[in-house]
Amino acid sequence: MVRRATATLVVVALAVLAGCLGGGGAGAATTVESTATETAATTSQSGSPATAAAAGDVTVEVVEVVEVVDGDTIKVVMPDGARETVRLLGVDTPEVHAENTPDEFEGVPETAAGRTCLRAAGEDASAYAKSRLADRTVELRYDGKAGERGYYGRLLAYVVVDGAEFNYDLITEGHARLYESSFEERERYERAERDARERGVGLWSCATEGAAAGGADATTDDGLSLSIVADAPGNDNDNLNEEYVTLRNDGDAAIDLSGWTVSDAAGATYTFAGGTELDPGASLTLHTGSGTDTDEDVYWGRGGAVWNNGGDTVTVRDATGDEVLAYTYE
């Protein structure tokens, strides 16, 4: 059983009073109830973490971090030696082991570019967590409203390191969004997230106008926009599907892309298949590499990179060959 330290510290002092009650009787026991608001955490001389107690209705434990899974999840060794996975309470960092859903992050576009930007932000959050928490002794502080465990059986806790609440730091630095759940500090976290969004820091840079992740590089009067990610992570030729052009329809009518083309300055050309339609509010991403076409992603099937990192021109033409959009980058 995991040992828990409860809110009230009860100290029983047994005082042997020399000379009292005939020189050998035990004195009365004295009970002191602590009202301290700070954590009374201790570590044994051997270095193993000791269970800690805190005031109010909060339960605190001192644990060892043995793995940082990502920005909002860690693995720890508990005071009794058990290993537990801890989900940081109240925060959600972008995914690094799965696909991101941009519409969970206010203002980030629901495009391949938006997902790519969030993946990079998730990697930044993981690196930040590792720099602060890896191989450290930290405090887990539980929340009375949220409970100690979540849906998947993981511990839910605020993580305190060097006296700072790491969950809150993730929010203020823009490494995480507020997780939609019930917990005591929600209002404070809401204010911190709002401030981070307004400053456009961390993952919120993915939502700023003109950002590589979501801003349109070129737009028509009818609401068709184009954006490009030319420089894939690592060697472009080894990561062809992370080099792509995204078309988005912010107009009021669907656009029939059948027979439309996308080409570079050297004349490499992709032609959209018949029946390709871009509905209002939808986006379609053309990846350089190979894959299975869907309503949101199509694949050029090239064996090498198309878009020059140092500069190129993206040209979109309709089925009659008329230029619809063109964008030159350097």
Catalytic site residue 95? yes
Gap between the Cα atoms of 282 and 248, Å rounded: 6
Q: Which of 64, 110, 136, 154 is catalytic?
A: 154
Collapsing DSSP to helix, strand or coil, 237 comes out as: helix
Instruction: Provide the token pair at 229.
Output: 């990610």
CA distance 256 to 209: 27
Residue among 73, 180, 179 at smallest CA distance from 129 = 73
Report the candidate in 297, 96, 330, 117 with the shortest Cα–Cα distance to residue 214. 117
Given 87, 141, 248, 317, the catalytic residue: 87
Catalytic residue status for 87: yes
Reduced to 3 states, what is the DSSP secondary structure of residue 72? Answer: coil
Phi, psi of 91 (to 5 degrees): -130, 155
Where do we find the tokens 């940081």?
Answer: 88
Print the SS3 string covering 169-206: HHHHCCCCEECCCCCCCHHHHHHHHHHHHHHCCHHHHH
Closest Cα to residue 244, out of 299, 170, 291, 311? Answer: 299
Mark whether 198 is an active-site residue.
Answer: no
The CA distance from 304 to 301, in Å, is 9
The amino acid present at 180, given as its one-letter code, is E
Task: Quickly count: other Cβ atoms within 10 Å of residue 131's Cβ.
Answer: 9
| 3-state SS assignment for residue 259 | coil
Which residue in the list 61, 95, 185, 242 is annotated as catalytic? 95
Handedness of CA 136, 166, 72, 204 (dihedral sign): negative
Catalytic positions are: 87, 95, 154
